[in-house]
A and B are shown apart, each in its own frame.
Chain A
């Protein structure tokens, strides 16, 4: 079991009618590995994530995941009629479901809000509950579909720190789909750039950039990634 990767995708193919979205894509995510996937809108990265989540059926290739993946969407997707702990415990069975949900909420700093309603949460808090709901299942694979895109810049940075801590503690394999080059640099062990339905490039952020966003090597990597995404690095 431990030798199995968190996810393995081989020769994946997905087309909507004549439009080919993913064509011959290969990807392996090891347990405990944090992979970020960058790419322009419509390049197929969300389709890949949905295929891994079992929400989309590909036409060719193989997808293997270790157990059922957990997913955090761009929207929190909390059930407004359930209290926070019941949201986190959704689908859990057993009499200790409430305790497990309570522990997961405590981990994201909302341990005192078990009986609160989702409508009383800020955007960042709601996304933290969504993270707790994903991690309470102790998934081997965690899928993050632009989960911080709708948050303000400051909240987003705080969420990065939280996600880093949580992933370090639970060690799932992570696939983060994002538009944000800096987010990818700050979080990922490996950054993939996707183009025309396949992986077009792989970038490994140096250790130094993970600790220090302002490190000179981060600027260089940022330039490389923007170039790989087809942008000239004039944005600095």
Chain B
């Protein structure tokens, strides 16, 4: 669930051509409110169906029941520490996998030698769906923190790697030539031309990696954990507490949306020059 919300929805990328006029007729705010109509209606339908017994509560509790459970779990100090543990796992995994992917990407992007040495093995490992190594990871690391951080790192590494290499490769050689005519040193070429030119691709990689990290975390925490949001859900399943399970799902989704929002804010700040990310295109 969080994987889809944290991934890239086509509508989140700038404005579509030809959309300006319709938006002008409706008013931007009107359309914005209208876009919430279906989600709110679904929520109300769900609430109604659960209240009037159409859906048995042990299969799917009412949204209001999930909300009261959330308040109770926050109140008795259970929920916040579990969320903290999950976030810390995601952040450490992201930092480790992201750094490795970025450094490998830089090496391969800049050096033909590094490409010859590194690209094939990285692509071969990438061909393995990273969740398929789960059992092996548990054998290696047991059910401790290392296993989860390793899995998140693995999920993050490849999107960052691929988009770093791609971004560097996509830099316009004509701009590089101009920089050389201008007498820029290698360091200046990298700082002033290559890295900014690779930035759109790099940030797209960050967004993919966030989705991937989140997916890895959900799986890792659900298979083997003694704390965290996933553990909360697993534990609740034993007692058929569907309200707690739904709450865990909702929290995963919310944090996924939040992480994607941070990534988009980064895009807007760092890519202010880019026509696709210009302020008028942002929502």
Alpha-carbon gap, A91 to B191, bound state (A): 12
Q: Are A79 and B192 in contact (CB under 8 A)?
A: yes
Who on chain A is nearest to B178 by CB?
A77
Q: A190 → chain B, closest Cβ, in Å?
A: 24
Binds B, one of A67-75, A150-158, A159-167, A197-205: A67-75
Q: Are A73 and B183 in contact (CB under 8 A)?
A: no
Assign chain B's interface to a size class: 20 to 34
A2 sits at the interface (CB 8 A): no
Q: Which of B175-198 contact A (CB under 8 A)?
A: 175, 177-184, 188, 192-193, 196-197
Q: Are B183 and A79 in contact (CB under 8 A)?
A: no
A9 sits at the interface (CB 8 A): no
Q: Would you call the interface of chain B mostly helix, strand, loop, or mixed?
A: helix
Q: B143 → chain A, closest Cβ, in Å?
A: 46
Q: Are B196 and A91 in contact (CB under 8 A)?
A: no
Q: Which of B237-277 contact A (CB under 8 A)?
A: 271-275
Q: Are B174 and A90 in contact (CB under 8 A)?
A: no
Q: Are B178 and A73 in contact (CB under 8 A)?
A: yes
Please encode chain B, from 149 to 192, with 1 for each CB lying within 8 Å of some chain A CB and 0 for all others.
00000000000000000000000001101111111100010001
Selected contact of B193 from candidates A53, A75, A79, CB within 8 Å: A79
B60 sits at the interface (CB 8 A): no
Who on chain B is nearest to A68 by CB?
B183
Q: Would you call the interface of chain A mostly helix, strand, loop, or mixed?
A: loop
| Across-interface contacts of A55 in B (CB, < 8 A) | 177, 180-181
A54 sits at the interface (CB 8 A): yes
Q: Are A90 and B177 in contact (CB under 8 A)?
A: no
Q: Are B184 and A77 in contact (CB under 8 A)?
A: no
| Across-interface contacts of B273 in A (CB, < 8 A) | 80-82, 117-119
| Across-interface contacts of A53 in B (CB, < 8 A) | 181
Known A80-B273, A81-B199, A81-B273; judge A75-B174 contact (CB<8 A). Answer: yes
Q: Are A77 and B174 in contact (CB under 8 A)?
A: yes
Q: Are B182 and A81 in contact (CB under 8 A)?
A: no
Q: Are A79 and B181 in contact (CB under 8 A)?
A: no
Top 10 A-B residue pairs of the complex, sorted by shortest distance between their CB atoms: A91-B182, A81-B196, A77-B178, A81-B273, A117-B273, A119-B275, A71-B181, A91-B184, A80-B273, A91-B183
